[in-house]
Structure 1
Amino acid sequence: MGKARLLIVEDDVDISNMLKIYFSSQGYDVETALRGSDALEKTRQNMPHLIVLDIMLPDINGYEVCRQLRTTTRTSHIPVIFLTQKDERSDRLQGLELGADDYITKPFDIDELRLRVQNAISRSERESLTDPQTGLPAGRMIEDQLRQVIRQPRGWAFLDVRINYFEPFKNVYGFIAGGDVLRFTSMLLGEVVDELGTQNDFVGHAGGDNFIIITAEDRAEAIKQRAKERFKEEVLTHYNFMDRQQGYILAPDEEGKIEPTPLMTLAVGVVSPATHYFADIREITELAAEERRKDAANER
């Protein structure tokens, strides 16, 4: 897996810098925010695996930041550890009622905070809540979202998104480069949904090169087209100059024979109650996968 991403939200610059240096030395990818509004924006731009959140911030307090994270579908799964000088029982209860995963008071033991961060991320991955590479909702959280939308008779759409020719790329460029492409894809899908979707839209990582989006029915086609267009153009930065110029890579096929293989694109299948009938959530994913395979065939 790639580095786990932490977002440190702390207005004391000395503490913020100290935590960034320490957790970076522990192998984490660390971003910082001095204000609550900055934290919400950075979370939307690049989904962290965990947020360490101070309560006393100069604009909106940590409680409000946590409330907005928990009431926004795309960020509701991110573990939050409150970091504060307050040690009153009522303050701890307020944070936990808002959905915080843990609570630690200043002055704190840095090793204790490290273990709490490590355990919260591990618990989230172990319970199939998030994908370890992208930090997006996975497994059980995707199933929960599907169970919610199937109860709605209309108005939603499900997008099955897969990266064409990802495995040949990973075979040629390596596992680390493959992980970079998955993280790039997760960020791109998030940006497209931010631009064209709604606050209640859901982006998940179903595993491997497969992502999903749940959005409003009337926004699905625009999201599909924008994601495909942007991916086709922006994924080129993951190839070397020669492969970009020739428009393909030389990769082994299933029999080990080296063959020209197209550059990566996205295939997207869209289903909704307006186009299909679903008896259960399994049928949503199966029918969407069928539509995605048709989309991939049209690209060839």
Structure 2
Amino acid sequence: MSKERILVVEDQPDISSLLKIYFTAQGYEVYTALRGQQALEICSKTPPNLALLDVNLPDMEGYDVGRALRASPRTRHIPIIFLTARGERRDRLIGLGEVQAQYYIVKPFDIEEVHTIVRNQLEEARRRNQLHPVTNLPTAELLNEQLRQLLTASSWALINVHINGFETFTSVYGSVVGEDVLRFVALMLNEVVSELGGNEEFIGQQSVGQSFLITTVPERSRAICERIITRFDEEIGLHYNYRHRKQGYIEFVDDTGETRQAPLMSLSIGVLTQDDGPFADIRELSEISEEVRQRALIQAREQGKRSFAVYGRSAG
């Protein structure tokens, strides 16, 4: 399981340092931001599991950071805890009501009490199986909720990204290195979507297997897919040893004891939009998405290509 990520947004260096040192010692991966805009940039590239927000920031109020997190499909599930000197009733109502933070703690605070609250919030998220244990991407019900919204939305694109050859890779290199590949893909998807997308995008991962789902608007889907394919094909070789990378395949022993060859990992991507509907429910949407993704794999093999994308259920 990956370390859970905590984002500390605090403009006072001594408090920021205290929180980072303490939570790092407790086994968390801690990011810090002195400004609100910096915090939002971090969240767009590597969404944390939980955010600790001060209200008084140099460039914006912490409430504005919280509102931005709640407005984006990629970050609206993140638990927010305010740590602030502003303890008036009006401030609490904004933080807990309007921003929908989980807790509002007034400074000075007891750091062990803060840790207890943080731990409970993260445990609750794990109990609900909201985040993938390796990549920390939304999964299970969070993913299904996003798919349900597509059923009634007027303009959307669903991008189904699958890692081909992942099982063979892990059988040769081991599950730990396989988890590194999943984290690499998750980070790469976040970077591409942050670069080419907007606030509408969502990135999730299936609970089981090596498939990722991105929701975006139709006009951005092709550019996002092309960038994903380019980056994956250029960078995936770094996860292989020199010999496998140079020869372009790996050797493995199959169930009969025979030594066989398998190409380096690639991506098959299927893209649906609202024009491919209507869909009765998320089960039908998911099944059609997987059918289109499977066609991408077949066409890639027929055309001698590595990663490949197919756009639309009627694409040839």
Name the TM tier (shorter chain): over 0.9
The equivalent residue for 2:161 is 161
Deviations, residues 62-84 of structure 1 (Å, cap 9, x unaligned):
11100111112211111111111
Deviations, residues 110-155 of structure 1 (Å, cap 9, x unaligned):
2222221121122122223222322222111121112111113x42
Deviations, residues 202-258 of structure 1 (Å, cap 9, x unaligned):
111122311101111222222222211211111222222222112122234355644
Deviations, residues 40-66 of structure 1 (Å, cap 9, x unaligned):
001111111111111111111111100
SS at the partner of 1:274? Answer: helix
The equivalent residue for 1:136 is 137
Alignment of 1:158-197 (within 5 A): 158-197=158-197
Alignment of 1:163-242 (within 5 A): 163-207=163-207, 208-242=209-243
- Cα distance in 2, alignment partners of residues 92 and 176 from structure 1: 44
Change (3 A) 1:175 1:107: farther
What TM-score do the two structures reach when normalised by structure 2? 0.89
SS at the partner of 2:169? Answer: helix
- Cα distance in 1, alignment partners of residues 120 and 253 from structure 2: 40
- How far residue 90 of structure 1 moved from its aligned partner, in angstroms, is 2.7
- How far residue 263 of structure 1 moved from its aligned partner, in angstroms, is 1.5
Alignment of 1:99-138 (within 5 A): 99-138=100-139
| 8 Å CA contact retained: 1:36, 1:65 | yes
Change (3 A) 1:176 1:105: farther
Change (3 A) 1:110 1:172: farther
Change (3 A) 1:104 1:252: farther
SS at the partner of 1:184? Answer: helix
Which residue type is aligned with residue 155 of structure 2? G
| 8 Å CA contact retained: 2:270, 2:289 | yes
- How far residue 283 of structure 1 moved from its aligned partner, in angstroms, is 0.9
Change (3 A) 1:14 1:228: same
- Cα distance in 2, alignment partners of residues 132 and 91 from structure 1: 35
Change (3 A) 1:217 1:243: same
> Which has the larger displacement, 283-292 or 218-227?
218-227
- Cα distance in 2, alignment partners of residues 80 and 254 from structure 1: 49
Which residue type is aligned with residue 238 of structure 2? T
The equivalent residue for 1:282 is 283
> Which has the larger displacement, 168-177 or 40-49?
168-177
Deviations, residues 139-173 of structure 1 (Å, cap 9, x unaligned):
11121112111113x42121111111112222222
The equivalent residue for 2:57 is 57
The equivalent residue for 1:263 is 264
The equivalent residue for 1:79 is 79
Task: After the TM superposition, list the runs of 4 or more consecutive aligned residues in structure 1 that deviate by more than 6 angstroms.
Answer: none
Aligned-residue CA RMSD in angstroms?
1.8
Change (3 A) 1:94 1:159: same
> Which has the larger displacement, 267-276 or 40-49?
267-276
| 8 Å CA contact retained: 1:4, 1:133 | no
Which residue type is aligned with residue 216 of structure 2? T
- How far residue 34 of structure 1 moved from its aligned partner, in angstroms, is 0.8
SS at the partner of 2:74? Answer: helix
Alignment of 1:16-31 (within 5 A): 16-31=16-31
Q: Where does structure 2 lack aligned partners over 5 or more consecutive residues?
A: 302-316
| 8 Å CA contact retained: 1:3, 1:29 | yes
| 8 Å CA contact retained: 2:45, 2:194 | no
| 8 Å CA contact retained: 1:53, 1:82 | yes
Aligned residues: 299
Which residue type is aligned with residue 147 of structure 1? R
Which residue type is aligned with residue 149 of structure 1? L
- Cα distance in 2, alignment partners of residues 18 and 157 from structure 1: 43
| 8 Å CA contact retained: 2:151, 2:278 | no
Change (3 A) 1:169 1:115: farther
- Cα distance in 2, alignment partners of residues 163 and 126 from structure 1: 27
The equivalent residue for 2:308 is none
Percentage of matched positions with identical amino acids? 47
Change (3 A) 1:119 1:290: same
Change (3 A) 1:30 1:176: farther
- Cα distance in 2, alignment partners of residues 116 and 174 from structure 1: 36
> Which has the larger displacement, 91-100 or 121-130?
121-130
